[in-house]
Amino acid sequence: MASTSTNHRAQLSEFLKSCRARVSPTEVGLPHTGRRRTPGLRREDVAALAGLSATWYTWLEQGRDVRPSEKVLENLSRTLRLSSDERDYLFALAQHRPPPMAPTRDEPVSPAVQRMLDALNVPAMVMTVRWDVVAWNRLVNRHFRDYAAMAPKDRNLFKILMTGPDYQQYPDEYAVMARRIVSKFRVDYSQAADDPAFEALIEELNDISPTFRELWRGPEIMGRSEGVHLLRHPKLGGITLEHTSYVVEGAPSLRVVIFAPYDTESAVKVAQLARDTDQGLHG
């Protein structure tokens, strides 16, 4: 029985051949000679365009046990005009891991994701790796903050949490929260390559938030976005929520954040929030 690595190399071989065959020489600036026996690019074309030796690329396409670097795979992705999904697949076959995250870009929230948010009877939203809130449901809009009324540039959740006066009026809670979110924000920053907006956000927070400035110099990191949050509702009082986040498949710079009731009392109150919100929308 063939090993997993052997099967992956065979899949990689077939994948590279099929991608090479669909790219015409004129697409990549090569002259059309009319004498090519096979459609698409030749192996030596791909090698030259990707900055590789023809022999080494041939070995890779033949399924030999060679180890392409991240730079090589990125060059091949550009040369072969791979989609983002195909780039992910190339890295998975060649390095058994996802590719590094591309520079942060504005990825749209699909209608399916928005419908999922709207169907939930708990607060939920979508934010980018930079913590820009880009989608939300009715419970978030009514009981957390009205993102729809805010300018897009002001919807950065990290900045809101770090600098919002509502959070700083409870110093002990604020200190715990600030340490936790900076530890997660540091990990997110490490995954966002060449993002000027991320750099600008950090520079701004260094200027306006002494707490951020102090914590940002620390070493703490937290890779999982989980935690307990106390919502102080004007009518129902304290509601304890536990949040988790999930990367949106096919859109790695987006993640869904869901706030679930942490205890029975909070579950009753969240259900009341959902009923009140629906009545307000349809009343």
**Beta-sheet pairing, 227-233 with 124-128:** unpaired
| Cα distance between residue 161 and residue 100, in whole Å | 28
Q: Which stretches of the chain score pLDDT less than 50? A: 1-2, 283
Q: What tens digit of pLDDT does each residue of 59-102 get? A: 998 988 888 998 999 999 999 998 877 888 888 888 888 777 65
> According to the model, what pLDDT value does residue 102 have?
59
Q: What tens digit of pLDDT does each residue of 193-227 get? A: 678 888 999 999 999 999 999 999 888 877 777 88
> According to the model, what pLDDT value does residue 119 have?
94
Helix (H, G, I), strand (E, B) or coil at 209: coil
DSSP summary character for residue 132: B
> According to the model, what pLDDT value does residue 37 have?
65
Radius of gyration of the chain (CA): 24
Domain boundaries, the chain: 4-95, 111-282
How many other C-beta atoms can be found within 10 angstroms of the C-beta atom of residue 220?
11
Fold observed for domain 111-282: Beta-Lactamase (3.30.450)
Query: What pTM was estimated for this model as a whole?
Result: 0.71
Fold observed for domain 4-95: 434 Repressor (Amino-terminal Domain) (1.10.260)
181: CB partners within 8 A, 6+ apart: 158, 161, 162
DSSP summary character for residue 63: T
In sequence order, which ranges of 80-133 are alpha helices (DSSP H)?
84-95, 111-119
> According to the model, what pLDDT value does residue 256 have?
95
> According to the model, what pLDDT value does residue 188 have?
86
CATH topology agreement for domains 4-95 and 111-282: no
- Own/partner long-range contacts of 8-11 (Cβ < 8 Å, ≥24 apart): 8/93, 8/96, 9/63, 9/64, 9/65, 9/93, 10/63, 11/93
